[in-house]
Amino acid sequence: MTILARAIEVSRRYGDVVALDRVSLDIAAGELVGLLGPNGAGKSTLINLFAGLRRPTSGVVELFGGSPQDPAVRRGIGVTPQETGLPEALRVGEIVDFVSAHFPDRADKGELLARFGLDDLVRRQVGGLSGGQRRRLAVALAFAGKPRLVFLDEPTTGLDVEARRSLWEGVRSFHRDGGTVLLTSHYLEEIEALAERVVVVGSGRVLADGTVRDVRDVVGVRRISFVAPDLPELPGVVGSERVDGRVDLLTTDPDRLVVELVRSGTPFSGLEIRPTTLEEAFLALTSKEPSHG
């Protein structure tokens, strides 16, 4: 297994803020990794460290076995930051040419634009693009230099459903051809749709790292739902909700909760136990997060 990017016990501070706290992470060739975490978790900081745009306060970051500060090493990556300012007066085709010119190996312009659904816009000035088209162009540019590894920071922010799917298809086709991707997202459906591996970060730490299924299992949160008039104090409840007489409880130990519910003597009916969605698992993980420290 070839490791393309590696963080070893990496911390990054901004003054008093600890953006990353002893994070270790390997990205192997051919992986499509989703980095999931709430606002301020440290996702962009990690991408900036891998892309050589920032240096860690402590720890080591490696890219292709070298330093991300080395421009020759950096030529092997493509990056779409969260926000990009593209020159308004340039045409789409000119921007692709300009960015491609920085790389020894270049993607075919027509193919690149087609991959991201921009082939009809090659002569359009950037100033005349819609927000979604700009975002797709910014993402497409990350692939202009035939990178081995691409970092996409919230690539589909501001895109409608159709544009998002077309962008996903572009990322998938790069990955099918052997490309490696690390992307951040707040959209859980995006992580589930694209990534094989999910790394959950919260408050600068890696909280979970595995498949979508693993992450759910790590949390082990289940949803227990039933109809009951009143609810006694029950142990191990990490979240609860009542809608129209139906009670929904989130718990990491459904067996014990059901035993306690029966023991309490509370009349109930229509008992259901279901796995949680990734979003519920993720919220449970990050809300438990302070106890890690």
Ligand X SMILES: Nc1ncnc2c1ncn2[C@@H]1O[C@H](COP(=O)(O)OP(=O)(O)OP(=O)(O)O)[C@@H](O)[C@H]1O
What distance separates the 2 farthest-apart alpha carbons in the chain?
73
269 binds ligand X (CB under 6 A): no
CB 231 within 8 A of CB 266: yes
* Proportion of the chain in helix, strand, coil states, percent, rounded to 5: 35, 30, 35
Eight-state DSSP code of residue 231: -
42 binds ligand X (CB under 6 A): yes
Written as six digits, the tokens of 105 are 């190996």
Amino acid residing at 133:
Q
Using the rule CB under 6 A, which residue among 5, 7, 41, 140 binds ligand X? Answer: 41
Q: What count of residues does the chain have?
A: 293
Q: Which is nearer to ligand X, 44 or 180 (CB)?
A: 44
Q: Which is nearer to ligand X, 18 or 122 (CB)?
A: 18
Q: Which is nearer to ligand X, 41 or 224 (CB)?
A: 41
Using the rule CB under 6 A, which residue among 4, 5, 10, 19 binds ligand X? Answer: 19
Least distance CB 4 / ligand X (angstroms): 21
Least distance CB 185 / ligand X (angstroms): 9
158 binds ligand X (CB under 6 A): no
39 binds ligand X (CB under 6 A): yes
Q: Which is nearer to ligand X, 151 or 226 (CB)?
A: 151
The residues with which 219 forms a beta bridge, in sequence order, are none
Distance CA 29, CA 180 (A): 6
Residue ranges binding ligand X (CB under 6 A)? 14, 17, 19, 37, 39-45, 82
